[in-house]
Every structure is written in structure tokens, then in C-alpha cells.
Amino acid sequence: MEKTFEKLQMKDDFMFSIIMRNPKFCKPFLELVLGIKISRIEYPKSQETIDISADAKSVRLDI
């Protein structure tokens, strides 16, 4: 089911990732939610897949 941009909420994965990837939005949002002043934001890899061997189960790490 698709939603229009106006109907997206913060809990939607798309909207959350857009806000968290952009320092212009991320820093003020986190400061508001956490109630603290943030001096800088660092961005590690957002998703990484670890495949040990061809027949092993893989793991995806979301941060």
C-alpha cells in the first residue's frame, strides 16, 4: 500500500530514514526528542550484510 508524502509519519521507515540521513533535519529532531544540545553527528554505514559462506545464513545489521 502506497501513501502520499503528506500522510507519512515519523514511524514510517521511509520518512525516518530521510530525516536521519540529513543533518539539517536529524540534529534538530534528535535535540528535541532527547532534550540535549548535540554538537555534531557522525554517520556510520546505515546497513551492512554479512555473508560468511554461500550456504550460511546471512545477517543484515540496521542501525
For the chain, the structural domain boundaries read 9-62
pLDDT at 35: 95
Q: What would the mean pLDDT of 14-24 be, rounded to a whole number?
A: 84
3-state SS class at 50: strand
Neighbouring C-beta atoms of residue 1, cutoff 10 Å? 2
pTM: 0.53
pLDDT digit string, tens, across residues 34-63: 999 999 888 776 666 666 666 666 666 665
Evaluate whether 22 touches 30 at the Cβ level (below 8 Å).
Answer: no
pLDDT of residue 36: 95
